[in-house]
A and B are shown apart, each in its own frame.
Chain A
């Protein structure tokens, strides 16, 4: 039985896909009598199957060598594309996390989407996401990873654009699609550029190739930069980060999934490609630089936001930046640990804030306050989410950050500074959000705010428990870095930075010393951070403006020059007809004249050879 389940673990993505397809008939236009709810229940059942299947298989894969499956897909002259699957404890574990988080997000959505008719579309897209992410976890081929990433980009477009009657949703979905698409297209360049070098797209074979490859450093740097660009867009890294901010227009349950898992899909590909990146030191430095800039910038921006969801979305960019740093410094295990702990903590934070939004309507944290006494479950979930995300022992985030920072301690101490600073800033911003939502006095919007129904609080509590148990689970699987070998200075630094960030923030926002709303002494700087470094303006002034101008120019050239040339031919024909018809003058004598002229000219031509030379001699 266990063996059979192991062999058929590739069914896990199929469950979700089938669930997604089965949800579609409950679109309001097809089945009108039952209402949309069965779509959600079917998806829940299928996701539950997927979760159970993956969870049952996971112990069987433990301490086993990876089991590989190769399904031929296309075989043409000189190119054999096969769908390579790798069933290892890592991929099955990732599927457990994905299916588990999706299950919780779907239960949450049963409550959250209560007063919505669009369940069929929503749940089928959640099913698509789960299928895509699980397939990405299983997939052992760069080419098929790229295909799945593209499918998920389309999925993001549709899911962000769920409530498409809102204008901001439409622009947000557009930006989410185009920004990620640009990254994916660069990734495609990298994928295509890698094949002639390595001759394979299989990650395992790529790693073997990279171990002993001897290639032109410029070439491999360019290929690696292109390969970075894809995850850069997926993980919402600078400068391709605006889409995640605008994707917060989508429904909260999908945000749970996006913030925790979807953005990590780019990081997954990045981690899988790490052996290739290690061929190019420049690419690794670029990755570290992007990650560091995004981590610091994102955590600073998160502090200056007033939208409850956007505070969290910039923290997601921040943590993905830390993953970039980890991969750039060849610390795959730290990166994977970071992805795992961040997924749980971020999902918990979004669930908690989603529950707040559902009852308090506003997303503006300056209009909320004083919810701690009346919303204890959401509040505790939020606190645990904070502590699990930042470096606070013994929760998961601490171990991931500690592993990352101790790996950097010897080689790049300044990056430890970045990690510690980011940790402090994130602690500050999350505590600020907590203080503004749960602390202080109730404001008008949060005056009467009951706790949410069980459909929303149950997954929150389950996830809360998982988050709390994560260190124990990791320890039992001996995945935690052992305390003896870790750098205790770094651990102290992390703990102190967390305590520092949290306490300063709570003193500022919970104390009454500083008047609210807080004005930063330098107003332009506050605005700069609040408006995300004016990234929309930057886009509009650079890329969008350039493409817009070029397309207008191309349109003009097409209309005026190319269309003009073709139309000119027609016009000339018309005008020549119009003009030449006057040769038919109606005068018989004119006709006679033209006949004579024709005869005369023809006669001259025919007889030219007999008199032409003499004529020319005579004339000249």
Chain B
């Protein structure tokens, strides 16, 4: 099983994440899409780490950091969503368009 398959899978996952990121109306689903993106990145890191750097596996170290930071980011993200929800009583992304022209 060559590395390309892993990379393609990661890219597909990334694209799905992007699609979700741009189209979701629910703010929580946007955060979930961001998690998909991060996981796609993690897949890439793991694949490269296995195929190209199997001795020092720096990719795996990166992945650990990414997971850590992703968890923190999701926490902050949910906090922001909650804060907005308290003010505006909704999590619909299309209602958050006050900062326009």
B24 — which chain A residues lie within 8 A by C-beta?
Answer: 589
Q: Digit string of A271-308 for contact with B (CB within 8 Å is 1, else 0)? A: 00000000000000000000000000000000000000
Q: Of the 9-residue stretches A260-268, A335-343, A580-588, which lies at the interface with chain B?
A: A580-588
**In the bound complex, do residue B98 and residue A588 qualify as a contact, i.e. CB atoms below 8 Å apart?**
no
At the interface, yes or no: A592 with Cβ under 8 Å from chain B? yes
| A581 engages B94 (CB within 8 Å) | no
A585, B93: Cβ atoms closer than 8 Å: no
Query: Chain B residues near A581 (CB, 8 Å)?
Result: 101
Total interface residues on B, CB under 8 Å, equals 14
Contact B22 A586, beta carbon cutoff 8 Å: no
**By the criterion CB–CB under 8 Å, are A584 and B100 in contact?**
yes
Q: Report yes or no: A586 in contact with B21, Cβ–Cβ below 8 A.
A: no
Interface bits B14-57 vs A (CB < 8 Å: 1, else 0): 00001001111000001000000000000000000000000000
Hey, which chain B residues are within 8 Å of A588, CB to CB? 93, 96
Which residues of chain A from 584 to 602 have a CB within 8 Å of any chain B CB? 584-589, 592-593, 596
- Give Cα A17–Cα B15 distance, bound, in whole angstroms: 97
Query: Which residue of the partner chain, among A584, A585, A593, contacts B22 with CB atoms under 8 Å?
Result: A593
Q: Tell me how far the C-beta of B44 lies from the nearest C-beta in chain A, rounded to whole angstroms.
A: 16
Nearest-CB distance from B17 to chain A (Å)? Answer: 11
A589 partner, pick from B21, B98, B99, beta carbons under 8 A: B21
Whether B100 and A586, one on each chain, are in contact in the complex, defined by CB atoms closer than 8 angstroms, is: yes
Of B21, B23, B97, the residue contacting A585 (CB under 8 A) is: B97
Majority SS of interface residues in chain A?
A: helix
B87 to chain A, nearest CB (A): 16
- Say yes or no: B21 contacts A587, CB within 8 Å: no
Q: Which residues of A contact B96 (CB under 8 A)?
A: 586-588
Residues on the A chain within 8 Å of B99, using CB: 586
B93–A592 CB distance below 8 A: no
Kindly identify which residue among A586, A592, A593 contacts B98, using a CB–CB cutoff of 8 Å: A586
Docked CA distance A5–B24 (Å): 111
Closest to B23 in A: A589
Chain A residues numbered 563-620 whose CB sits less than 8 Å from any CB in chain B: 581-582, 584-589, 592-593, 596
Q: Given A592-B21, A592-B22, A593-B22, A587–B97 Cβ distance below 8 Å?
A: yes
**When chains A and B are docked, how far (Å) is the Cα of A501 from the Cα of B40?**
123
**A587 nearest CB neighbor, chain B only:** B97
Between A581, A588, A589, A596, the greatest number of chain B beta carbons within 10 A of the residue's beta carbon is seen for A589
Q: How far is the CA of A367 from the CA of B26 in the complex (A)?
A: 105
Residue in A closest to B18 when the chains form the complex, CB atoms: A596
Contacting pair A587 B94 (CB below 8 A): yes
Q: How far is the CA of A426 from the CA of B96 in the complex (A)?
A: 100
Complex: chain B residue closest to A582, CB-CB: B101
Taking the closest CB of chain A, its distance from the CB of B81, in whole angstroms, is 12
Q: CB-CB contacts of B58-101 with A at 8 A, as 1s and 0s?
A: 00000000000000000000000000000000000110111111
Residue of A nearest to B25 (CB): A589
B22 near A589 (CB under 8 angstroms)? yes
Query: What is the CA–CA distance of A596 and B23 in the complex, to the nearest angstrom?
Result: 13
Q: Say which residue of A584, A589, A592 sits within 8 Å of B101 (CB atoms).
A: A584
Give the residues in chain B near A596, CB-CB below 8 Å.
18, 22
Alpha-carbon distance A588/B24, docked complex (angstroms): 11
Q: Bound complex: CA of A582 vs CA of B21, how far in Å?
A: 22
* Bound-state Cα–Cα, A584 to B99, Å: 8
Could you tell me the distance between the alpha carbons of A596 and B20 in the complex, rounded to whole angstroms? 13
A372 CA / B63 CA spacing, docked (Å): 132
In the bound assembly, the distance between CA atoms of A586 and B94 in angstroms comes to 9
Contact of B93 (CB < 8 Å), options: A582, A584, A589, A593? A589
In the complex, are the beta carbons of A587 and B93 less than 8 A apart? yes
Closest chain B CB from A469 CB (angstroms): 97
Q: How far is the CB of A260 from chain B (nearest CB, A)?
A: 81
A589/B30 contact (C-beta < 8 A), A584-B100, A584-B101 known: yes
Chain B residues closer than 8 Å to A584, beta-carbon distance:
100-101
> CA separation between A588 and B30, bound complex, in Å?
11
Q: What separation, in Å, do the CA atoms of A593 and B101 have in the docked complex?
A: 18
- Give bound CA distance, A584 to B100, whole Å: 6
Q: State whether B18 touches A586 (Cβ < 8 A).
A: no
B30 pairs with A585, CB closer than 8 A = no
Residues on B with C-beta less than 8 A from A586 are 96-101
Residues from chain B with a CB closer than 8 A to the CB of A585 are 97, 100
Q: Would you give the shortest CB distance from A598 to chain B, in whole angstroms?
A: 14
Q: Which residues does chain A contribute within 8 Å of B22, judged by CB atoms?
A: 589, 592-593, 596
Report how far A596 CA is from B24 CA in the complex, Å: 16
Task: For the complex, give the distance between the alpha carbons of A586 and B101 in Å.
Answer: 7
Please, how many angstroms separate the alpha-carbon atoms of A584 and B98 in the complex? 11
Closest chain A CB from B85 CB (angstroms): 16
Inter-chain contacts of B98 with A (CB < 8 A) = 586
Residue among B21, B94, B99, B100 with max Cβ neighbours from chain A (10 Å): B100
Task: For B100, list chain A residues within 8 Å (CB).
Answer: 584-587
- Can you offer 22 A-B residue contacts whose CB atoms are under 8 A? A581-B101, A582-B101, A585-B97, A585-B100, A586-B96, A586-B97, A586-B98, A586-B99, A586-B100, A586-B101, A587-B93, A587-B94, A587-B96, A587-B100, A588-B93, A589-B21, A589-B22, A589-B24, A589-B30, A589-B93, A593-B22, A596-B18
- With A581-B101, A586-B97 already in contact, 10 other A-B pairs whose C-beta atoms are closer than 8 Å: A584-B101, A586-B96, A586-B98, A586-B100, A586-B101, A587-B93, A587-B97, A587-B100, A589-B30, A596-B22
9 nearest interchain CB pairs? A586-B100, A586-B97, A581-B101, A584-B101, A593-B22, A586-B99, A589-B22, A587-B97, A585-B100
- Chain B residues within CB distance 8 Å of chain A: 18, 21-24, 30, 93-94, 96-101
